[in-house]
Chain A
Amino acid sequence: MNYRILIVVGALLFLLTATAAAQDDATIIRWGVWGSEEELASHQAVADTFNAQHDDIVVIIEHTPWNDYHIRLATQIAAGHQASVPDVFFLAQDFGRYAESGVLEALDAYITSTSYDLSDYWPNLVENATVNGSIYGLQRDLDMRLLYYNKAMFDAAGIGYPDETWTWDEWAEAAEALTIVAPNGRTEQYGLGMEYGKWGQLVLQTGGGIVDDPINPSACVLDQMPAVQAVVFMSDLLENGYAMRFGTLDQAGGDTRVFLERRVAMIVQNGSRAATFAEAGMDFDVAPLPIPEGGERVNNSGGARFVMNSASENKDAAWAFLSWLQGSQGQTIYIETSEMFPALRSVANSSAYLESPDQLFDREALVIEAAHVRSMSLGSFPEWDELSDLIVTPNLQSIFIGDTTPEDGVVVICASVDRFLEQNGYPRSE
């Protein structure tokens, strides 16, 4: 027997018991998050501050990498181990499904009893977290899309920088002026590099949708005005070669990469990319997204929510942490330690945010967009992802790669969508 190993193990055991004893009278709240090293560091800063301020609660982070996070959660619950899910956790996918199946704790009673202020949230955030009349989550941030543009390329093309007055017409003209094609036909610089995943936002900007009702749809409306404008607009940009084709964009490593490599002049992305561009020494800024003539400013932003496990044994302590986390203190730590746009209006309008010395771009653009946020409004019924991924996307690809015209393509899409809705029992009677 090796005595040194015994001593080391003994010492470790002693340390563990000692730490546990020190926190014996405090309630332990397990907090589930994902995130890169940097994101984890800002979660840790939040937990540390909370723990320093509270003697009776200790928050412990349970970190799972993004790729495994949601599948692990689903597996834990399916296996009947909901108690092993953290007390408070971050949730980005299947929020409605979890809320309906009783995995999440309804927060209404806690909100009322502690007078937690819901009116400070940006419009629609509370509605979007409401399922069957109860609130099941508090959204942490707005993952809003902005128009990033390369200032040097705009200067070279001799056009003015985009601002909140831009419509799709100006956007398309700029994309054309910014596109540079070599004599042999190879495109050296595209005006726009917008990933397919952001296309849905254009539909919302027209005031239309893919289906008539995002919650209980009865029919596809993509083949009608105004929604069809978004299909035509995008397919024109692609066909004329002013926008990089979606496949090429994927192949080249995504919009961030091609913007860094100066292969495109504009991309549509959220605020988190600014640090990468600033680090690379790029001369860039952001503007609110252009909207169609007669359309509306809509930001179809995602953004994850913090939720409470309905199987938690310490719900009051969990709420104490959750409400602090989603109050000005928790939110302010996040804006100080990461490039995050806060869900609370007071924090976004605070000098800590707008006058921060290390801001990388025009944060006013975010405030302009935030007033128009409509999360997930293309579809938020349980089968939406399936409809979108298996039917809408592949058929849109046929249009965007030029296999079919927008006019014919949308008819095919709508026939398939209507069929899918019927097979899945939509519209459902309440």
Chain B
Amino acid sequence: MLGVLVFTVFPVIFSLIISFHKWDLLTAPEFVGLKNYISLFTDDLIFRRVLENTLVFLIVLVPSQTAISLLLALALNQNLRGMSIYRTIYYLPVVTTIVAAALIFQIMLDFDYGAISGVIWQIGDWLQLPLQPPDWLNTTLWAKPAVIMLTLWKNVGFTTVLFLSGLQGIPAALYEAASIDGANAIQRFRYVTLPMLSSTTFFIIIILVIGAFQLFGEAFILTGGGPAYATMTVTQYIYENAFKFFRMGKAAAISWVLFVAIFAFTLLQVRLQRRWVYYEMEQ
């Protein structure tokens, strides 16, 4: 209890107080009222960029990771020999450190010699066509997809396991009943699997949205936020303001804006869930 107080409650309150101050860690904090918040929304062009980037990541990552992990979970839910090995393989990236994963991706994405580019150069040679691989980390067009690929690769295993446990909780009797009623495979998926999975899906979407808002390591290590702001996220902006430029008040203010955004999104989803999430207990 004391631990929670000292290490959680105090820093949270302290950061709220600091967000109304100008503080560089060295000299005494100076009270500036709402100035940190106001300038974020009026004259901070970079904040707008990082907010847009974060929203793009959110809009792409949440549906794509949900869809991919659902498909993987369906595939991994078969009764085949050696299935536990496949399941382990998909989970491996989750336990890989992000730094190692990002560095490997950097090497693979190298324009001239990377493994991914290499395949494309090779295909071009075979077809005698002037095929060029994307210059992933040197173009604003391809840098975001590169970060998204890495994030998906790294995290899809986790949500797959959640879906898998959800799938295994669906009673076989429901499928049998549906089959007897003449439902085909697609109909069984649509009317049995999806509703029965809705509470799992709800949970997954909530954590993915929070994760997308907090996206940091993947972009920071792979691209450093570049090129030309293309992959800089809100969290990186907080980090740089706090620990590179010692604008603690501004960093705290952005953190609180981020918190409010996450809180609002989560509330919204809790509201919306009543329309589509199905809990077995309600019957």
Pick out which of these stretches binds chain A: B133-141, B169-177, B251-259.
B133-141
Pick out which of these stretches binds chain A: B2-10, B108-116, B186-194.
B108-116
A187 lies within 8 A of chain B by Cβ: yes
A132 lies within 8 A of chain B by Cβ: no
- Is B110 in contact with A74, judged by CB distance below 8 angstroms? no
Determine which residue in A188, A383, A393 has the highest number of CB atoms from chain B within 10 A of its CB, and name it.
A393
- Is B43 in contact with A248, judged by CB distance below 8 angstroms? no
B244 lies within 8 A of chain A by Cβ: yes
Question: Contacts of B109 on A, CB cut-off 8 Å?
Answer: 251
Question: Contacts of B46 on A, CB cut-off 8 Å?
Answer: 390-391
B229 lies within 8 A of chain A by Cβ: yes
- Is A386 in contact with B228, judged by CB distance below 8 angstroms? no
Bound complex: CA of A173 vs CA of B125, how far in Å? 30
Query: Binary interface profile of A, 229-264, with partner B (CB < 8 Å = 1, else 0)?
Result: 000000000000000011110111100000000010
From A74, A97, A250, A386, give the contact of B106 (CB < 8 A). Answer: A250
Bound complex: CA of A398 vs CA of B138, how far in Å? 10
Bound complex: CA of A246 vs CA of B226, how far in Å? 11
- Is A185 in contact with B244, judged by CB distance below 8 angstroms? no
A385 lies within 8 A of chain B by Cβ: yes
Query: Binary interface profile of B, 134-150, with partner A (CB < 8 Å = 1, else 0)?
Result: 01111110000000000
In the assembled complex, the CB of A118 is this many whole angstroms from the nearest CB of chain B, namely: 28
- Is B25 in contact with A251, judged by CB distance below 8 angstroms? no
- Is A186 in contact with B112, judged by CB distance below 8 angstroms? yes
Question: Contacts of B140 on A, CB cut-off 8 Å?
Answer: 398, 401, 403
- Is B106 in contact with A397, judged by CB distance below 8 angstroms? no
Bound complex: CA of A252 vs CA of B114, how far in Å? 9
A165 lies within 8 A of chain B by Cβ: no
- Is B228 in contact with A394, judged by CB distance below 8 angstroms? yes
- Is B130 in contact with A185, judged by CB distance below 8 angstroms? yes
Bound complex: CA of A389 vs CA of B240, how far in Å? 9
Query: Binary interface profile of A, 165-200, with partner B (CB < 8 Å = 1, else 0)?
Result: 000000000000000000011111000000000000
From A103, A245, A395, give the contact of B26 (CB < 8 A). Answer: A103
- Is B226 in contact with A397, judged by CB distance below 8 angstroms? yes
A252 and chain B: residue at smallest CB distance: B110
Question: Contacts of B246 on A, CB cut-off 8 Å?
Answer: 74
For the complex of A and B, the 9 pairs showing the least CB-CB separation, nearest first, are: A247-B138, A247-B137, A386-B245, A78-B25, A397-B227, A398-B228, A251-B106, A397-B228, A101-B26
Interface CB pairs A-B, < 8 A, 8: A75-B25, A78-B26, A101-B26, A101-B27, A184-B121, A247-B135, A247-B138, A400-B227
